[in-house]
Amino acid sequence: MSSQAGATMVLSAAMDYRLPATVVPKRYDLRLEPDLVAATFAGEAVITVEVETTVTEMVCNAAELAIQSAALTREGGVPIHGSITLDETSERARFVFPAAIAPGEWKLTLRFTGTLNDRLHGFYRSTYKDASGVPHTIAATQFEATDARRGFPCWDEPAFKAVFGVTLVVPEGLAAVSNSAIVRDEPLGDGRRAVHFADTIRMSTYLVAFVVGELEASDAVMVGPTPLRVWCVPGKKHLARFALDVGAFSLDFFERYYGLPYPGDKVDLLAIPDFAAGAMENLGAITFRENALLVNEGAASHAELERIADVIAHELAHMWFGDLVTMAWWNGIWLNEAFATFMELMAVDAWKPEWKRWTTFGVSRAAAMAVDGLEATRTIEFEVGNPHDCRAMFDLLTYEKGASVLRMLEQHLGPEAFREGVRLYLERHRYANAETTDLWKALGDASHQPIPSIMDGWIFKPGYPLVTVEPDGAGLKVTQRRFSYVAADRDSGQRWRIPIVLRAAVKRGYVERRLLLDGDEASVALPAKADWIVVNSGGHGFYRVRYAPALLKKLAGAVAKIAPIERFNLLSDAFALAQAGLMPSVDYLDLTGRFTTESDRNVWTVLVSSLAYVNRVIGDEHRSGLAALVRHRLDEEVALLGWEVQEGETELERQLRGDLIRALGTLGDDVDIQSRARDVYARYREDEASVDANVLPAVIAVLAAAGGESEYAEFRERFKSARTPQEEQRYLYALAGFRKAELLGRTLEMTLNGEMRSQDAPYVIRSLLVSVYSRGLAWDFVKRNWQTMARQYPESAYTRMYEGIAGLVSADSEREVRAFFADNKIDLGGKTLQQYLEQLRVAVAFQEREAEALAAYLSRQRPR
Ligand SMILES: [Zn+2]
């Protein structure tokens, strides 16, 4: 924090956003009385503050609150009443006192009222209907990044850590949950009770949580001394088992990994019917979207279970990294999230090694590279002045690129040294705040390596390198430059320190070469008889590889001999090169022909999604050619897998079956698959156990693509009466997968008429924008309704909705999209909009460059 002297003189732009440090909160005694019927709340905050230097006023944050009184007392003195000014623009409350306030400890007592809003931030309300259609209301909080100020007046910056003593006054019969255990439950004699919670550890305001409503809890699972529970609306407790299993394992795993006990006194995992993000790491009271926590394990696909395990492990990882040690300011949010993502993978990989979580992470890494290859990317860490700017940090670059470069560092330092460094960091900074440099220092102390010199390029430079490999005499020449989709032939001059691992096949096995490439180029000596070589061996590197044609040809002939993550990277990099104009698209399509017997799910994921991309680029008249190509690539593996679970299969193989049936029945438009899906679904209606949980979501998607009025009516009904969050999601997204305009129009209506939750509607629109059957309709709908959407949808989800514009692939659409954003002055925060527009540009350029070649190639694909 800056010193008080500077703050009173000239306020720099950045300083404007920071509260003066003349008064520092130590402790909040909060009493909140939510009225769920009126959707309001009343509160009292007694804030113990340390006055550092004589003041006559105090400034803290408040938004959408009315503050009725402000009184300052000191041990044994009479209250000094202050005048109150609220500034909604700066979201601040200013209290001016009639006398000078001397340094020392004071108690500031504030009485305030507020509204339980419907925007899923601050202190908000979530509503749901029970099985008999009766509506119910829950009050819940979402305070990160800067919305604690909507729940109570506070010093709402992460470095102002304090102890919180919370009391919730609620009607008898309603559950009340906050960050710590209940110490006293006091009946008030008026039909209400005051629930008093134990003091928290010193923590940041954005981690405070209150949840009030008709909720029920699972029995507690003990993890050492810590009780772990799952909370949900009545009637869903039977969906908590899986979460308890993952939670118990992860909590124990993190205690061991971090070498520190869990910092709270209990862990509650709460499923909230309306929730903007996936989950939120409030210490001891972690809130989730229902579909990220509750599941019927036996009826869920692998993908659905993996997501839940990921999210739970991620939030629990934050209890130490984020909650116990917190970033000093919002520029550090990337490390908070990147690290939790990294640890989530560590925990899930330890829990279910057979899920091969580090291999499947390749898909997420590739998604980050897709954004980071744009000119409009950003550096992982950047200066954050206005805290609103940190909204743009909750993206793929923070989570997935961040976790990727941490994994690259961990592999470079070795897992032991890395863990020692993390322990040192937590030990040094617990109950306090830290900067990125503090972690580098701790990792450096533990590993005796110069961390900043390796990491700075990845953290403080935008983008990532393209490593080109060419034969050079008996060896190889590797060179680097920045990868770019739109400026592929321009060298930006940027260079990275790249830990490169490459492997060459020789007569009796392999030889490995490791180098740290930090200049333009390096030579690598190879054994004389080297056959093929693979660069980025092991797949941990955050860079793309471009092989000289001769090398690519050899490697393509050896795909069966390289690891799944290496095959994944080979395809992912090749398609990116095609998008950037560095490889003819038809060469890429030829390459996919090498993978017809592929057995790894991730490799299929990149292959299928690249063909879906091509489908968005080509004209309608070539769709049947592409479908024929899809069938050619997928047929053999689908025939091998069949429709039924086979003895000894892994979970990943079962999920692959679902993935491929879905792709073949939708993108491949395979009539046999569609007809079989109808039979399977008919059987499912008679006997639910007759269909594997990995196949059912695929069957639903295929029936939507091939279906009409009757399927639509059935799926819509099943969406409304869904018994699990997963079932709800499957049918919901199926409604976006139909192809008839009239049906799609109904789905669009549902995004605004209250039939869909505002937490889901923007994502449904995003998927409608990228489908070739609905994109035109969806775009027209967005143009007509965007202002209503901006009001109704949670801000983060509203922003993500526009990601779908990258699906509007034509020069005319692109012009129109650009005009729309310019005319309406829509700002999505940070560089988000520029990124979406550039993704559209890349697709249109690809279309203009490749249309002719693709048309010729696809017309040669023979329909079966
Ligand atoms: Zn997180």
Tens-place pLDDT, residues 392-404: 788 899 999 999 9
Cβ–Cβ under 8 Å, residues 143 and 205: yes
CA–CA distance, 191 with 361 (Å, rounded to integer) = 51
**Band of residue 863 on the pLDDT scale cut at 50, 70, 90:** low
Catalytic residues: 315
Question: What pLDDT is attached to residue 8?
Answer: 32
12-21, 116-125, 587-596, 736-745: least confidently modelled range:
12-21
CA–CA distance, 350 with 853 (Å, rounded to integer) = 47
CA–CA distance, 209 with 286 (Å, rounded to integer) = 8
Entry pTM: 0.93
Residues 642-667 have pLDDT tens digits of 999 999 999 999 999 999 999 999 99
CA–CA distance, 437 with 328 (Å, rounded to integer) = 11
Residues in the chain: 864
CA–CA distance, 277 with 254 (Å, rounded to integer) = 23
52-66, 280-294, 388-402: least confidently modelled range:
388-402
**Among 40, 43, 149, CA closest to 89:** 149
Cβ–Cβ under 8 Å, residues 123 and 150: yes
CA–CA distance, 770 with 609 (Å, rounded to integer) = 12
Question: What pLDDT is attached to residue 13?
Answer: 46
- Whole-number Å distance, alpha carbon 317 to ligand 1 midpoint, is 8
Question: What pLDDT is attached to residue 2?
Answer: 24
CA–CA distance, 355 with 351 (Å, rounded to integer) = 9
Share of the chain above pLDDT 90, in %: 90
Higher pLDDT, 382 or 56: 56
Beta strands in 236-378 (DSSP E): 267-272, 279-280, 285-289, 325-327
* SS percent in the chain: helix, strand, coil, step 5: 45, 25, 30
Cβ–Cβ under 8 Å, residues 278 and 376: no
Could you tell me the two tokens for 818? 């650009």
Judged by DSSP in three states, 373 sits in coil
Average pLDDT over residues 316-343: 96
Q: 168: which strand partners?
A: 32, 195
Average pLDDT over residues 9-17: 50
- Whole-number Å distance, alpha carbon 478 to ligand 1 midpoint, is 37
Cβ–Cβ under 8 Å, residues 63 and 30: no
Average pLDDT over residues 240-264: 98
CA distances from 62 to 19, 23, 86, 92, 381 (A): 12, 16, 7, 5, 28
CA atoms within 13 A on the CB side of 807: 22
Residues 576-615 have pLDDT tens digits of 999 999 999 999 999 999 999 999 999 999 999 999 999 9
Question: What pLDDT is attached to residue 238?
Answer: 96
Share of the chain above pLDDT 70, in %: 98
Residues 730-753 have pLDDT tens digits of 999 999 999 999 999 999 999 999
Average pLDDT over residues 494-499: 93
Instruction: Write the DSSP string, 638-674.
Output: HHHH-SS--TT--HHHHHHHHHHHHHHHTTT--HHHH
Cis ω before 145 (30° cut-off from 0): yes
Amino acid identity of residue 119, one-letter, is R
Per the listing, tokens 């408040």 go with 62
Residues 449-488 have pLDDT tens digits of 999 988 999 999 999 999 999 999 889 999 999 999 998 8
CA–CA distance, 366 with 570 (Å, rounded to integer) = 11
**Band of residue 132 on the pLDDT scale cut at 50, 70, 90:** confident
**Band of residue 326 on the pLDDT scale cut at 50, 70, 90:** very high
Question: What pLDDT is attached to residue 15?
Answer: 52
Q: 24: which strand partners?
A: 50
Assess whether pLDDT exceeds 80 at residue 528.
Answer: no
CA–CA distance, 29 with 23 (Å, rounded to integer) = 17
Cβ–Cβ under 8 Å, residues 815 and 351: no
Question: What pLDDT is attached to residue 862?
Answer: 73
Average pLDDT score over the chain: 94
Could you tell me the two tokens for 125? 């309300």
Task: Find the helix or strand (DSSP H, E) in which 544 lies.
Answer: strand 544-547
Task: Find the helix or strand (DSSP H, E) in which 414 lies.
Answer: none
Average pLDDT over residues 526-539: 89
Question: What pLDDT is attached to residue 796?
Answer: 85
123-132, 274-283, 407-416, 524-533: least confidently modelled range:
524-533
- Whole-number Å distance, alpha carbon 105 to ligand 1 midpoint, is 35
